Amino acid sequence: QLAENIPTFGKDTPLGRAGQPSEVAGAYVFLASDAASYITATSINVTGGLI
C-alpha cells in the first residue's frame, strides 16, 4: 500500500468509496458463526457492487 493511493482507494467501485469496517463486519461474523456451519462453495460479495 502506497500512501499516495489512499485518497483514491475504492473510487472505482459503483459506490465510489471503500467499504467501512462496520459495513463488511457482518459478513465476517456470519461466516464465523454456527449459522454458517452448513454453507459450502458460495461467495458473499462485499465489493461495493463489483462482481
Pairs from 10-18 (Cβ < 8 Å, separation ≥ 24): 10/48, 12/50, 13/47, 13/48, 13/49, 13/50, 14/48, 14/49, 14/50, 15/48, 15/49, 17/48, 18/48
Whether the predicted pLDDT of 5 surpasses 80: yes
For the whole model, what pTM was predicted? Answer: 0.60
Pairwise CA distance, residues 35 & 47, whole Å: 22
Structural domain spans, the chain: 3-36
7-50 confidence digits (pLDDT tens)? 998 898 888 888 899 998 999 999 999 999 998 888 888 888 77
pLDDT for the residue 1: 58
